[in-house]
Structure 1
């Protein structure tokens, strides 16, 4: 356990950051799940709308340090390809 005042403060800060980051990750996953569900249902318009809503959420995760830039880009690319394939089929 932390003994010095500085270590105790860092432990408190880490707890707060953990809670905030956990909420952000959960929110991002919710948006991604909505896209997945729209793709699974076969509704191209709903999938496009869900993807448009998910994109800024993913990028916000990058700027806040929750996700790595390339991870978010990879997820967006794969989802966009699946939505595009759905709308063409």
Structure 2
């Protein structure tokens, strides 16, 4: 349990940050799931549109510190190659 005023404040800040990051991560996962579902259905146009919508969300997660840059790049690379293979 936090005892000093500074540690109490840090605990409050951590709770807020955790809630914000959790919401961001959830939002990004939703966009990625939409791409996955479009790929699974075999609809290339829908998959391409979902991928274009997911890319800025994923990169925003990188700038906000939710994801590492290489993680986001890897996810985008794998998804885009799978969308390209739908042809």
Query: TM (normalized to structure 2)?
Result: 0.99
Distance (whole Å) between structure 2 residues aligned to residue 72 and residue 3 of structure 1: 38
Structure 2 counterpart of 1:23: 23
- Alignment of 1:33 onto 2:33: yes
Query: TM (normalized to structure 1)?
Result: 0.97
Structure 1 counterpart of 2:65: 65
Gaps of 5+ in 2: none
Structure 2 counterpart of 1:43: 43
Runs (4+) off by over 2 Å: none
Distance (whole Å) between structure 1 residues aligned to residue 57 and residue 12 of structure 2: 27
Question: How many residues get paired?
Answer: 87
Gaps of 5+ in 1: none
Q: Cα distance, 1:79 vs. partner? A: 0.1
User: What's the RMSD between the two structures over aligned residues?
Assistant: 0.3
Structure 2 counterpart of 1:79: 79
Per-residue CA shift, 1:11-40, capped at 9, x if unaligned? 000000000000000000000000000000
Per-residue CA shift, 1:30-63, capped at 9, x if unaligned? 0000000000000000000000000000000000
